[in-house]
Amino acid sequence: MTTPSADKQAPAKQDRVLIFDTTLRDGEQSPGASMTHEEKLAIAELLDDMGVDIIEAGFPIASEGDFEAVSDIARLAKRSVICGLARASIGDIDRCWDAVRHAKRPRIHTFIGTSPLHREHQLSMSKEQVLEKITATVSHARNLCEDIQWSPMDATRTEEDFLCLAIETAVKAGATTINIPDTVGYTAPGESAQIIRMLLERVPGLDKCIIATHCHNDLGMATANSLAAVEAGARQIECTINGLGERAGNTALEEVVMALRVRNDIMPFSTGVDSTRLMQASRMVASAAGFPVQFNKAIVGKNAFAHESGIHQDGMLKHSGTFEIMRPADVGLNATALVLGKHSGRHALKNKLKELGYELGDNQIADVFVRFKALADRKKEVYDEDLVALMEVEASSA
Ligand code: KIV
Ligand code: ZN
């Protein structure tokens, strides 16, 4: 694993972005998404296997169940860093350490709100009190564990001067990763990048830490904001499978992993994630959380590699690059789906019939195509069985 400072000397392609998965913590905070102990363990095992660098396994103080899940995940992980979340309280941090300390590579992640809204309305604390709390809690955590992540919650709505001061305080107290949360999904790509650049320029010692980006998707910009932060110097992306998370969710892991892979020409960063496991992870999380994946979800949606229109199907049959920017196999899917419907063309129909064992000449296909269009007008999708029935009617009327 390389650090941002070490990366500076390396050729661009060597820049490694750490993937921090918080499906089991921020993802599970999504209303209605709670998972069983066994489901959490199975998801953690898959994340560990597929090369996720850091797994945020839960919030140990939140409940006995969360504590048990984080401890068991810490015991089972083979290579991922196992992280637990803790508020800025000694009790939270001690409980978190008790859960993660079984891991080969444990991490404590502690946070406090820094924006005016959070300071005044959530914490009722002055700036000075927040700074004192940061010193006390981060240094306490650092005495327990070498790997400490600290987050200024609602960072993107925090005054720049105070954000710099708060981060400097956390770095001095021993934080090794500084996470910049866009807690309410308020930032935009240009601003996300500008914040990271500004912090790197102004905060002493920050260049020795990993900078993380943690974006929420309230305005649908979480993936773009995360990638912009990476381009500006962040080297850890916090994300969840299927973008599961509070309100509109978090940055989707599958989106950032594939964006960095497909557009490596303009974003020369690599991750350690085996992308061929993405579909498996998506299905596992959707089923455990009980949250179906929207059909047109990027990368893992049912329609992400499906084509219905005649022009697209015709192009795909000639060369898959015409309408696909990645191969289905790259995300763990067997094949592209050419879905037959009213927009499909003759070429796709002929191809499908051939697959089903019907070799038709041009005249015959012209006739069947008329019947197929009439059927497709009545039905949304035409399945293999419909085509077989159509061919039987054709044969009996011949
Ligand atoms: O969104 C957020 O601010 C968080 C913090 C706990 C990092 O999830
Ligand atoms: Zn969050």
Whole-model pTM: value is: 0.91
Distance CA 381, CA 74 (A): 46
pLDDT value of position 70: 98
352 CA distance to ligand 1 centroid (A)?
49
How distant, in Å, are the alpha carbons of 93, 334, 370 from that of 67? 12, 38, 62
Q: What is the pLDDT of residue 3?
A: 38
Q: Using CA atoms, how far apart are residues 357 and 379, in angstroms rounded to an integer?
A: 23
**Ligand 1 proximity of 149 Cβ (cutoff 6 Å):** no
Q: Where are the beta strands (DSSP E) in the chain?
A: 18-21, 54-58, 81-87, 106-113, 148-153, 177-182, 210-215, 236-239, 306-307, 337-338
68, burial (CB in 10 Å: exposed 0-12, middle 13-18, buried 19+): middle
pLDDT tens-digit readout, 60-98: 999 999 999 999 999 999 999 999 999 999 999 999 999
9: its two tokens:
């000397």
Token pair, residue 309, equals 């229109």
Q: What is the 8-class DSSP label of residue 331? A: G
Measure the CA angle with vertex 13, ends 8 and 15; round to 5°: 45
Predicted local distance difference test score (pLDDT) of residue 337: 84
For residues 215 and 23, what is the distance between their CA atoms, to the nearest angstrom? Answer: 13
Is residue 168 within 8 Å of 205, Cβ to Cβ? yes
pLDDT per position as a tens digit, 315-371: 899 998 998 999 999 999 988 888 899 999 999 999 999 989 999 998 889 999 999
Say yes or no: CB of residue 118 within 6 Å of ligand 1: no
Q: How confident is the model at residue 398, as a pLDDT?
A: 65
| C-alpha pair distances (Å), 327 with each of 3, 221, 275, 277 | 31, 25, 11, 14
Contact between 87 and 122 under an 8 Å Cβ cutoff? The reply is: no
Which stretches of the chain score pLDDT less than 50?
A: 1-13
> Ligand 1 pocket, 176 CB below 6 A?
no
Integer Cα distance of 7 and 187 in angstroms: 27
DSSP 67-101: HHHHHHHHHH-SSSEEEEEEESSHHHHHHHHHHHT
According to the annotation, is 343 in a ligand binding site? no
Ligand 1 atom at minimal distance to the Cα of residue 111:
6
Give residue 14's pLDDT: 56
Residue 375 Cα to ligand 1 middle (Å): 51
Pocket residue to mutate for ligand 1, from 20, 26, 182, 236, most atoms within 8 A of Cβ: 26
151 lines ligand 1 (CB under 6 A): yes
